[in-house]
């Protein structure tokens, strides 16, 4: 039966649901507070939009009810996302499994979604901020004291609280609560980590390859490798962002949070590092410690080590005391920083938390508390790793709801 469907939020999840719904001929209205849809999409992947990943292992997706994810993110639904990309005419450029638009510009994805929505006859009301929704006589009424827009079904696609300047400021949670939903506490995820004041600040600006271990109360809970960026306040880079979600939750519960940085990631003990340096010193006996290390690591990092630990870098390896050798190999093998916080929602790419998966039917994403009310995208308690998983979930959930609404 043809229905009038209202969608709050013109992000990826909202537009994907809208385009899919039009294929079943429903009347669709997107209500967007900005003067145009897809504002956040334009910023993704540093303007290149990493929208999907070939590696669709479920371990790249996270939720406080992680055990429910395999039921939600299925291979059939992942295939439906790839079919959807074809249907909106997006051509992928695939680099190491990461999908980008062929143009390497997020604007191609923005245009593909926007033009497809227009072609399909999706109605868009922009500059419309949804503050309130009520239900009367099985009809949803949006902003009952103002515009009074009515519909048979309502899809909440308002995003999270990440990057609020793009329009997602958490209003969706308020709407969900007004229908009796609980909200899993919302926290920044894919965000930079702040270290304790006393730690090294002069490493600001260094970029290097490293292996990170995140520790909660001394226990390793996650490991990531990749480019690490050292900043004035702490650490950043993709490997940092990927460990941030779990650490933010641990910080909130008062746990002790640390990150162990392994600057020579292919070596797995301090002894191996010392032996490695010993061997290099034999190979290049005339080199000073400074010259020995500068050929392996960024110049600035080597000098941070020397300044911080007061090691005489003009000495040769074989003339160092055992204590000095221990200091150098200990730092390079594993330098532990205490983490005291994360950057704010303003800098976080996504949020963890949101509408609990236990409060929606996983086969439709319909609310268990209110018939014909649905949730899609980041407003739900699902977040993904860096690498196209967050947009991936926005597409997947949008398609899922777009296919299910009105099929009763």
Interaction of residue 163 with ligand FAD, rule CB under 6 A: yes
Interaction of residue 244 with ligand FAD, rule CB under 6 A: no
As a whole number of angstroms, the distance between CA 166 and CA 170 comes to 12
Interaction of residue 157 with ligand FAD, rule CB under 6 A: yes
Return the bridge partners of 184, or none: 354
- The residues near 319 (Cβ < 8 Å, ≥ 6 apart) are none
As a whole number of angstroms, the distance between CA 346 and CA 161 comes to 8
Based on CB atoms, which residue is closest to ligand FAD, 39 or 404? Answer: 39
Q: Determine which helix (DSSP H) or strand (DSSP E) holds 259, and give its type and residue range.
A: strand 257-262
Based on CB atoms, which residue is closest to ligand FAD, 11 or 234? Answer: 11
Q: Determine which helix (DSSP H) or strand (DSSP E) holds 154, and give its type and residue range.
A: strand 153-156
Residues 15-74 that bind ligand FAD (CB under 6 A): 31-34, 37, 39-41, 43-45, 49-50
Interaction of residue 171 with ligand FAD, rule CB under 6 A: yes
User: Of 261, 302, 394, 400, which one interacts with ligand FAD (CB under 6 A)?
Assistant: 394
Interaction of residue 267 with ligand FAD, rule CB under 6 A: no
Q: Compute the least distance from the CB of residue 349 to ligand FAD, in Å.
A: 4
Closest alpha carbon to 342 in 137, 187, 135: 187
Based on CB atoms, which residue is closest to ligand FAD, 114 or 163? Answer: 163
> What dihedral do alpha carbons 12, 17, 19, 24 form, nearest 10°?
170
- Residue 385, phi then psi, degrees to nearest 5: -70, 170
Closest alpha carbon to 38 in 15, 20, 22: 15
Residues 359-378 that bind ligand FAD (CB under 6 A): 377-378
User: Of 101, 159, 341, 402, which one interacts with ligand FAD (CB under 6 A)?
Assistant: 159
Q: Determine which helix (DSSP H) or strand (DSSP E) holds 106, and give its type and residue range.
A: helix 106-120
Closest alpha carbon to 57 in 80, 82, 78: 78
Interaction of residue 122 with ligand FAD, rule CB under 6 A: no
Closest alpha carbon to 284 in 295, 274, 273: 295
Interaction of residue 161 with ligand FAD, rule CB under 6 A: no
Q: Compute the least distance from the CB of residue 146 to ligand FAD, in Å.
A: 12
Q: Compute the least distance from the CB of residue 291 to ligand FAD, in Å.
A: 40
As a whole number of angstroms, the distance between CA 407 and CA 256 comes to 49
The helix-helix angle for 106-120 and 12-22 (nearest 10°) equals 30
Q: Compute the least distance from the CB of residue 45 to ligand FAD, in Å.
A: 3
- The residues near 262 (Cβ < 8 Å, ≥ 6 apart) are 210, 211, 212, 213, 333, 334
Q: Compute the least distance from the CB of residue 110 to ligand FAD, in Å.
A: 11
> Residue 2: helix, strand or coil by DSSP?
coil
Q: Determine which helix (DSSP H) or strand (DSSP E) holds 44, and give its type and residue range.
A: helix 44-47
Q: Compute the least distance from the CB of residue 142 to ligand FAD, in Å.
A: 9
User: Of 5, 12, 206, 259, which one interacts with ligand FAD (CB under 6 A)?
Assistant: 12
Interaction of residue 200 with ligand FAD, rule CB under 6 A: no
Instruction: State the number of binding residues for ligand FAD (CB under 6 A).
Output: 41
Q: Compute the least distance from the CB of residue 269 to ligand FAD, in Å.
A: 36
**DSSP-derived secondary structure for 192-238:** -EEEPTTS--TTTT-EEEEEEEEEETTEEEEEEEEEEEE-SSEEESH
Q: Which stretch binds ligand FAD (CB under 6 A): 199-207, 312-320, 328-336, 382-390?
A: 382-390
Interaction of residue 158 with ligand FAD, rule CB under 6 A: yes
Interaction of residue 224 with ligand FAD, rule CB under 6 A: no
Based on CB atoms, which residue is closest to ligand FAD, 32 or 274? Answer: 32
Interaction of residue 130 with ligand FAD, rule CB under 6 A: yes
- Binding interface with ligand FAD (CB under 6 A): 8-14, 31-34, 37, 39-41, 43-45, 49-50, 129-130, 157-159, 162-163, 167-168, 171-172, 349-350, 377-378, 388-392, 394
């Amino acid at each position: 039966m043809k229905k009038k469907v209202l969608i709050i939020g013109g992000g990826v999840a909202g537009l994907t649901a809208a385009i899919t719904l039009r294929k079943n001929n429903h009347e669709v209205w997107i209500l967007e507070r900005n003067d145009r849809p897809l504002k956040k999409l334009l910023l993704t992947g540093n303007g290149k939009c990493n929208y999907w990943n070939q590696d669709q292992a479920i371990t790249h997706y996270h939720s406080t009810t992680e055990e429910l994810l395999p039921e939600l993110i299925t291979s059939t639904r992942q295939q439906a996302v790839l079919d959807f990309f074809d249907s909106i005419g997006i051509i992928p450029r695939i680099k190491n499994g990461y999908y980008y638009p062929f143009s390497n510009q997020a604007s191609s994805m923005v245009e593909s979604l926007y033009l497809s929505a227009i072609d399909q006859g999706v109605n868009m009301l922009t500059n419309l901020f949804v503050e309130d929704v009520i239900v009367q006589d099985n009809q949803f009424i949006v902003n009952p004291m103002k515009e009074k827009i009515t519909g048979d079904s309502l899809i909440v696609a308002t995003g999270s609280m990440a990057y609020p300047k793009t329009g997602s400021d958490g209003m969706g949670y308020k709407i969900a609560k007004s229908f009796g939903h609980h909200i899993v506490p919302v926290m920044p995820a894919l965000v930079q980590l702040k270290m304790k004041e006393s730690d090294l600040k002069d490493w600001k600006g260094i970029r290097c390859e490293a292996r990170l271990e995140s520790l909660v109360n001394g226990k390793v809970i996650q490991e990531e490798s990749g480019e690490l960026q050292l900043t004035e306040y702490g650490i950043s880079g993709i490997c940092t962002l990927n460990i941030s979600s779990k650490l933010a939750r641990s910080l909130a519960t008062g746990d002790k949070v640390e990150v162990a940085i392994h600057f020579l990631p292919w070596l797995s003990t301090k002894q191996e590092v010392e032996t490695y340096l010993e061997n290099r010193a034999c190979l290049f006996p005339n080199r000073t410690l400074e010259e020995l290390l500068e050929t392996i690591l960024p110049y600035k990092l080597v000098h941070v080590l020397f300044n911080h630990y007061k090691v005489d870098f003009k000495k040769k390896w074989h003339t160092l005391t055992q204590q000095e050798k221990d200091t150098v190999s200990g730092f390079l093998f594993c330098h532990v920083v205490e983490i005291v916080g994360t950057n704010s929602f303003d800098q976080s790419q996504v949020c963890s938390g949101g509408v609990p998966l236990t409060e929606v039917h996983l086969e439709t994403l319909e609310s268990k508390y209110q018939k014909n009310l649905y949730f899609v995208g980041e407003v739900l308690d699902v977040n993904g790793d860096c690498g196209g998983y967050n947009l991936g979930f926005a597409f997947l959930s949008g398609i899922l709801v777009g296919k299910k609404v009105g099929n009763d």
